[in-house]
Amino acid sequence: MGQSHPAFRFSRSLFRDLRRWVTAAAAAVALTGALLTVSPPASAAGLTQVTGFGTNPGSLSMFTHAPAALPSGAPLVVALHGCTQSANDYYAHSGWPKFADAYGFALVFPQTTSANNANSCFNWFEPGDSGRGRGEALSIKQMVDKAVSLYGGDTRRVYVTGLSAGGAMTANMLAAYPDVFAGGAIASGLPAGCASTVSAAYTCMYSPPDKSPAQWGDLVRAAAPAGTTSWPRVAIWQGTADTTVQPANATELREQWTNVWGVGQTPSRTQSLGGGTTLSMYDDASGRPAVEVYSVSAMAHGLAVDPGSGAEQCGSSGAYYLDTICSSYHTARFFGLDGDENSGTLPAPTALTVTGTTDTTVSLSWEAVDGAASYTVYRGGTKVGSSTSTSYTDTGLATGTTYSYAVAAVDPAHNYDHTVAGRAYQSGGYTYAKGSGQAMGLWNTFTIHTLEQTAPGHYVIDDAGCSA
């Protein structure tokens, strides 16, 4: 983008904190026939360049990161760097790899160069690079197709996020490919379709046009395939002290995407988070956030990170990576990538033990937790099943492969709790599971159910627990 600003160039979650289910003891087993070998969990792969991902009309490079033994059907997140940055820079600072490894999803880091743009910015303001089926936008779409093929990913759970120029390109990708992306997060970015020239890009950055919500929404509808009725969910991150991309852009983004979703401009609710961050949520008709706005007080231009080893911390500070709050953590939760639907405040089970193996199975046991309604089992950070007892057998494993396991205790949840957490909704004093619409009884603190998430935003009653 411009020469003087090199960096430019979803939240209340349905789920609980990762730290509440990480076990004090994790089991790792390598299967070689019936022989059990105890070893540390397999380490995740680093950043890998992928070639041959399509015609690549935008002349971009593709880099990926995926956890070891990533199961098929895992989600995919595309992460777009800012100007003067690179795929490796975003990989090293943003914190996304931590949650890819913990929750079990793949990452794609597209990269542009100074040959495409003097400041190595994605050309979000060029119609030939930001529209559907064109230039850089098409190259990014081809990377998605390649990654889904490589990792056997779930095409219903593909997301995109980006910083600054990468954030602006994210907005355009969401508009151009609503059939590809289930959600997106725009960090210090601009509304879709805000600019179509370099000079207009500077105007958008410093003094964005004050269009009506309908006018902004029309730009998205015009960029999308004709007849589109299903839209991505959008998280918007903005620092209040940003002088490169004025905070007014977050307002225009909110107006754009709430209009696309057909919801009002008044937040359904607000929440105070760490790092001086205020979260405003705008719910769809089912009561689930369609748009979320994270306003970080006194933060300048950059991506919000929070270095440290805590469950809600991530990334490392640096130029345009600002130590405030871990945006990647909250965005992953907004996308629904954290994997568990019902973990509460119960402690993690102890004495997790491998009790037996075959060449394709592992049997586990653990100590009971008082008050637990059931237990959720994770393999390599990804949920593989649940049990109402203190044992579980994992099947379909590969001989000679190392697996790591963790178990979470799930507390009983009242219908009121499910509704507040966004897993259910109430109508006429009764509660219904989101997505499936299954009747759960009265909306109160006495009726208890366990819900299982079977797809993004879709829950079913599972009082007996999932089968092994």
pLDDT bracket for residue 383 (50, 70, 90): confident
**Do both 437 and 314 map to the same domain?**
no
Mean pLDDT is highest, among 22-31, 133-142, 416-425, 441-450, for 133-142
pTM of the complete model beyond 0.85:
no
Summarised one tens digit per residue, pLDDT across range 231-255 is 999 999 999 999 999 999 999 999 9
Q: Hey, which bits of 251-401 come out as E strands?
A: 269-273, 277-283, 289-296, 303-305, 321-323, 353-357, 362-365, 374-379, 382-387, 391-394
**Which of these ranges, 41-45, 278-282, 344-348, 410-414, has the smallest mean pLDDT?**
41-45
**Does some domain include residue 363?**
no
**Do both 321 and 428 map to the same domain?**
no
Summarised one tens digit per residue, pLDDT across range 215-228 is 999 999 999 999 99
**Do both 330 and 423 map to the same domain?**
no
User: Is pLDDT at 4 greater than 50 in this prediction?
Assistant: no
Could you say which of 301, 319, 335 is where a domain stops? Answer: 335
How far apart are alpha carbons 137 and 125 in whole angstroms? 12
**Do both 98 and 193 map to the same domain?**
yes
**Do both 316 and 420 map to the same domain?**
no
State the residue range of the domain holding 436.
Answer: 413-449
Q: Hey, which bits of 284-438 come out as E strands?
A: 289-296, 303-305, 321-323, 353-357, 362-365, 374-379, 382-387, 391-394, 402-410, 413-414, 424-427, 430-433
User: Is pLDDT at 293 greater than 90 in this prediction?
Assistant: yes
Q: What is the CATH number of the domain that holds 217?
A: 3.40.50.1820
Average pLDDT value for the chain: 84
**Does some domain include residue 465?**
no
**Does some domain include residue 383?**
no
> What is each CA distance from 163 to 47, 295, 365, 389, 403, in whole angstroms?
19, 15, 44, 45, 34
User: Is pLDDT at 149 greater than 60 in this prediction?
Assistant: yes
Q: Are 45 and 66 in contact (CB under 8 A)?
A: yes
pLDDT bracket for residue 49 (50, 70, 90): very high
More confident residue, 112 or 453: 112
pLDDT bracket for residue 80 (50, 70, 90): very high
**Do both 203 and 90 map to the same domain?**
yes
* Number of Cβ within a 10 Å radius of residue 446: 9
Active site (catalytic) residues: 164
More confident residue, 84 or 448: 84
pLDDT bracket for residue 15 (50, 70, 90): very low
Summarised one tens digit per residue, pLDDT across range 172-197 is 999 999 999 999 999 999 999 999 99
Looking at residues 33-57, what average pLDDT do you find? 62
More confident residue, 145 or 378: 145
More confident residue, 423 or 291: 291
Structural domains of the chain, count: 2
**Do both 313 and 428 map to the same domain?**
no
Radius of gyration of the chain (CA): 22
pLDDT bracket for residue 382 (50, 70, 90): low
